[in-house]
Structure 1
Amino acid sequence: MSEQHTIAAELREDVGKGASRRLRHAGRVPAILYGGHLDPVALTLDQHEMRHATEQESFYSSIIEIKIGDDATQQAVVRDLQRHPFKPVIMHVDFMRITAGEKLTIAVPIHFVGEGQSPAGKTSGVVIQHQVTEVDIEAVPAALPEFLSVDLSKMEPGDTVLLSQIELPDGVSIPALAVSDDNDVAIAIATHIRETQGTGAAAEEAAEAEADIETAADAGEDVDESDGSAEESDDKGEGD
């Protein structure tokens, strides 16, 4: 079960770009709450409270209690969050209501554990690369996990961990795996550093260039030696 957050909200009737701009200047965040077989509702949120909440990874994959006014409370998940390009300001938030018993699809982070204790992690010249850091899952709200944990403690050099090898909690599935086997991608790879730095056509070209340089260097040494011998022979002739 994922962590639950509570956010205070107020209803708003003034909508549009101008209204949203005024709200942001007043330290508020325009938002919308939709879904759950109910009409959409326009809300405003506190900018400071939202910035603090969004600093927590679990906020994006957890059930959120939205307290509207003094009485009404609705459960939702974050569907979209827009930030200012360079200012620490949240521009807009979309929340989707959830309904108990109805499955929802949401992206959750992947936490890799045991990497330092693995044979691959202890082998010099081997690096474990995390290819995927989050995945879309499907679950009812009550079974929604905050994150998925992947144990790498037994990973050997050259091993690959696939998406299908994630141990899922009860009631949780990965929809992409039901669509096609092609979606069973690598999420972690233990590879040798040399393999990542010296493969392909670029490596072959570099090797050929190095060979040409060595050949030229050898030829230069031969010329120098012959020139030296000729000069030495001339000197002897002049002496005679």
Structure 2
Amino acid sequence: MKFVAFERAKQGTGASRRLRNTGKTPGIVYGGSGEPQLIELDHNALWHALKKEAFHSTILDMELNGKEGKVLLRDVQVHPFKPMVLHIDFQRVDAKTRLHMKVPLHYVKADESQAVKFENCVVNQVMSELDISCFPGDLPEFIEVDLSSLKKGMSLHLNDVTLPKGVTAVTRGKPNPVLVSVVVVGGEEAAAGAEGAEAAPAAAAPAADAKAAPKADAKPAKKK
């Protein structure tokens, strides 16, 4: 994805507030061999770009002062209740330096699995993104995970997934974390309980009728 940034001369709270009032968003670019540089971006264009997953997880082409450079989105500050981006950070990308990024996990074909299709189960997603390390040229937009082989009682771990070429998972504490787990829907147990509940009153009904019968047949006592 490509976006256009403009050089920003002033910094500080007051300058940033005035910039936002004109429909711009203050930001900064850092890293690589260059010095940190203050920038500004068109707020509306940035707001729409942030809604795209690729803007968060891929290398971006930034045009600044007529020159293009490769950057990564590193931080976004958003207003707590207004649809407004307060500040944004980008990091320059060096082709020879490994990146440390979080990329989204796309789970596919869960509906085709035996667990979902025949065993009345649902797939519980434990992780929605994965921390990875790779060179810029190997950075994937997302990692696709095939769930078609899931069965009742299974859990899919990180080691069960084939990562793209050049990509290494970064795990902390758990070398083989669970990505998804298969959970049995409570409908079967609930249905069994409901059948038992219906059977109990039915069995008790004759006894209740038996007690009520003599009262129905009894004749009222004669008055003396």
Q: Residue 34 of structure 2: which of 38, 51, 57 is its match?
A: 38
Percent identity between the two aligned chains? 32
User: SS at the partner of 1:184?
Assistant: coil
What's the CA shift string for 1:23-45, capped at 9, x where partnerless? 11111010100011321000000
Which residue of 9, 13, 17 corresponds with 1:17? 13
Helix, strand or coil: the match of 1:38?
Answer: coil
- Say whether residues 1:192 and 2:192 are aligned partners: no
Q: What do you get for the CA RMSD once the two structures are aligned?
A: 3.0
Structure 1 distance, partners of 2:27, 2:175, is 34
In the alignment, the residues of structure 2 paired with residue 139 and residue 80 of structure 1 have an alpha-carbon distance, to the nearest angstrom, of: 19
Q: Which moved more, 1:161-170 or 1:100-109?
A: 161-170
Q: Identify, as 1 or 2, the structure richer in helix.
A: 1
Map 1:116-195 onto structure 2 (within 5 A). 116-123=111-118, 125-176=120-171, 180=173, 182-194=174-186
Q: Which deviates more, 116-125 or 20-29?
A: 116-125
Is residue 30–residue 91 contact of structure 2 (8 Å, CA) maintained in 1? yes
**Letter of the structure 1 residue corresponding to residue 62 of structure 2:** I
For residues 184 and 98 of structure 2, the distance between their equivalents in structure 1, rounded to whole angstroms, comes to: 41
Alpha-carbon distance in 1 for matches of 2:82, 2:169? 35
Q: Secondary structure at the match of 2:70?
A: strand
Could you tell me which residue of structure 2 aligns to residue 75 of structure 1?
70
Deviation at 1:87, TM superposition (A): 1.5
In structure 2, the partner of 1:50 is 46
Take 1:64 and 1:21, find their aligned partners in 2: how far apart are those partners? 26
> Which residue number in structure 2 is paired with residue 99 of structure 1?
94
| TM-score under structure 1 length normalisation | 0.77
Mapped partners of 1:36, 1:105: distance in 2: 14
Q: Which amino acid aligns with 2:19?
A: L
Where does the alignment leave 5 or more consecutive residues of structure 1 unmatched?
199-213, 219-224
Q: Which amino acid aligns with 1:48?
A: N
Does the 8 A contact of 2:114 with 2:150 survive in 1? yes
Deviation (angstroms), 1:82: 1.1
Q: Distance in 2 between matches of 1:127 and 1:239?
A: 72
Q: Kindly tell me the number of residue pairs found equivalent between the two proteins.
A: 215
Choose which of 22, 32, 36 in structure 2 pairs with 1:26.
Answer: 22
Task: Summarize the Cα distance change of 1:60–1:238 in structure 2 as closer, same or farther, 3 Å threshold.
Answer: same
Q: Counterpart of 2:17 in 1: which secondary structure?
A: helix
Q: TM-score by structure 2 length?
A: 0.82
Per the alignment, residue 60 of structure 2 pairs with 64
Aligned-partner residue type, residue 133 of structure 1 = S
Q: Is the 8 A contact 1:8 1:69 kept in 2?
A: no
Consecutive unaligned residues of structure 2, counting only runs of 5 or more, are 191-199, 205-209
